[in-house]
Amino acid sequence: MIPVSGFEGQTVALLGLGRSGRATARALKAGGAYPVAWDDSVPAREAAEAEGIELRDLSRQGALHGVACLVTSPGIPHLHPRPHPAIAAALERGIPVDNDIGLFFRSFGSAAFGEFDTVPRVVAVTGSNGKSTTSALIHHVLTEAGRPAQLAGNIGRGVFDLDPARDGEVIVLELSSYQTELARALTPDVAIFTNLSPDHLDRHGGPGGYFAAKRRLFAEGGPDRAVVGVDEVEGLFLAGQLSEGPADARVIRVSVSRRLEDAAWSVVARKGWLAEWRHGRQVASVDLRGVKGLPGSHNHQNACAAWAAARALGLGPREIEPGLNSYPGLPHRSQLIAEAGGVAYVNDSKATNVDAAVMALKAFPRIRWICGGLEKEGGLDALLPAAQASVARAYVIGREAEAFARRLDGIDAEVCTTMDAAVAQAMAEAQPGETVLLAPAAASFDQYDNFEKRGEDFVRAVTSRLR
């Protein structure tokens, strides 16, 4: 545990008592603060009370009297579409509102760092798509190279479940827009922006607010090194804002669509080859085509970002390449779950928006595509060219499967509704050389609690039929 600093002897209110909320309460206590907490969920309150966390309904009149700070969980709205009543009350009283990420950055350093040969560092990854894979890949590369590292944030453990940093350790954090938008301290040593596509627009008041939330990771603390995907205009804009000019190597530009030899430092992937360039010279390259854990150009972009981060941390190409080749992939993200009869079965349940689904569809030449669910804003038109180029047939799931299928113009689509029916039909019709791919292009909440449950159901349906 990393104790929270700066609130010794003060009362700090916590809104949200999931796993990270309870860990934050423990860290506040360890740092000498007095946490009081609330969650609108009865089971969450009961779990917190069982740990000895004091409960207080923070929405009630006077509940915030004497409170030094309100710490809220990422899933609770603080601005759009409207603030939670407790947050609105804190704002009215002028009480600072923060989250666990902000508390982590203000508390991470300790007196022990002065005794280390190498001060621990933090790598923070944000973006719309690929941030989980990029974060996990950086952690894997570091670990395989024998460097101490921990992974946390929006993936794996909460930040206050981390162990105190060791000499030379690297903390790798995946950060969502919900986390970066509110954190009052954001001071990573290396910050990564993967890409941007429309998502969570209601929560951020539109695309401008969504980009602004991501941009805060770079603007608030000023990382020593920024790794920026420049295949969208927002990334180009961000790189331009952070850089003093073409010779400024503090910004490492990443692309899978263009050559960037004019940049002071860049990492690009084209036709399956990753290449690192510095001041117009290629200094390293690696073949990604045979890396099963990183299929497709979207994963090659993730590999470029991870390579850039590892290089910024001082690793050499020969230390990084084995980690790329041994990376097993994350569950529900281009996860190869089986190969049988010449057919591959891939679980990309995390492809919850159109852009992520497009990347998955481009990764395989001939696809039996399982898609559908709770459709997001913007429609499906943007994925039709990729689907028409690679999809042999679509098998549509979800409560609104028929309406979803009607939007797949030019694609042979079967309305299946359930995962079992879709998998059974796709497996019956799949031919050698094809891929049965779950890439829903939609949220899961019409049928499942989350995308993980949906992916697990796909894995179950496939493996039970292959026995």
Burial (CB count within 10 angstroms: exposed 0-12, middle 13-18, buried 19+), residue 20: buried
Q: Which residue has the higher pLDDT, 355 or 160?
A: 160
127 lies in the same domain as 141:
yes
243 annotated as a binding-site residue = no
Instruction: Give the whole-angstrom CA distance, residue 39 versus residue 62.
Output: 17
Domain that holds residue 373: 335-466
Portion of the chain with pLDDT greater than 90, in percent = 84
**Nearest alpha-carbon partner for 147 in 129, 166, 127:** 166
Residues 6 or more apart whose CB falls under 8 angstroms from that of 318 comprise none
252 lies in the same domain as 355:
no
- Is residue 221 within 8 A of residue 105, CB to CB? The reply is yes
115 lies in the same domain as 80:
no
Instruction: Give the whole-angstrom CA distance, residue 179 versus residue 217.
Output: 10
Last residue of a domain, one of 69, 98, 127: 98
pLDDT tens column, 315-340: 999 999 999 999 988 899 889 999 99
Q: Which residue has the higher pLDDT, 284 or 333?
A: 284
What's this model's pTM, rounded to 2 decimal places? 0.88
Q: Which residue has the higher pLDDT, 165 or 203?
A: 165
**Predicted local distance difference test score (pLDDT) of residue 329:** 86
58 lies in the same domain as 86:
yes
**Predicted local distance difference test score (pLDDT) of residue 376:** 83
**Predicted local distance difference test score (pLDDT) of residue 262:** 86
**Predicted local distance difference test score (pLDDT) of residue 105:** 96
Q: Which residue has the higher pLDDT, 259 or 303?
A: 303
205 confidence band (pLDDT: 50, 70, 90): confident
Tell me the average pLDDT across 242-262. 92
Judged against a pLDDT cut of 80, whether residue 377 lies above it is answered with no
**What distances in angstroms separate CA 164 from CA 109, 120, 275, one per listed residue?**
9, 10, 35
Average pLDDT, the chain: 94
Judged against a pLDDT cut of 80, whether residue 232 lies above it is answered with yes
165 lies in the same domain as 110:
yes
Q: Is residue 3 part of a domain?
A: no
132 annotated as a binding-site residue = yes
107 annotated as a binding-site residue = no
314 lies in the same domain as 350:
no
206 annotated as a binding-site residue = no
Judged against a pLDDT cut of 80, whether residue 156 lies above it is answered with no
**Predicted local distance difference test score (pLDDT) of residue 221:** 79
pLDDT tens column, 396-439: 999 999 999 999 999 999 999 999 999 999 999 999 999 999 99
81 lies in the same domain as 127:
no
Q: Is residue 4 part of a domain?
A: no
Question: Is the bond preceding residue 81 a cis peptide, omega within 30 degrees?
Answer: yes
Phi then psi for residue 303, to 5 deg, are -65, -40
**Predicted local distance difference test score (pLDDT) of residue 224:** 95
pLDDT tens column, 37-56: 999 999 999 999 999 999 99
**Predicted local distance difference test score (pLDDT) of residue 247:** 87
130 annotated as a binding-site residue = yes
- Is residue 229 within 8 A of residue 309, CB to CB? The reply is no
**Predicted local distance difference test score (pLDDT) of residue 203:** 79
**What distances in angstroms separate CA 300 from CA 259, 353, 425, one per listed residue?**
14, 19, 31
409 lies in the same domain as 322:
no
Distance separating the N- and C-terminal Cα atoms of the chain: 43
Q: What is the CATH number of the domain that holds 239?
A: 3.40.1190.10
Judged against a pLDDT cut of 90, whether residue 1 lies above it is answered with no
Instruction: Give the whole-angstrom CA distance, residue 332 versus residue 457.
Output: 11
113 lies in the same domain as 94:
no
Instruction: Give the whole-angstrom CA distance, residue 278 versus residue 308.
Output: 11
251 lies in the same domain as 144:
yes
**Predicted local distance difference test score (pLDDT) of residue 330:** 87
116 confidence band (pLDDT: 50, 70, 90): very high
Q: Is residue 150 part of a domain?
A: yes
Q: Is residue 218 part of a domain?
A: yes
**Predicted local distance difference test score (pLDDT) of residue 94:** 97
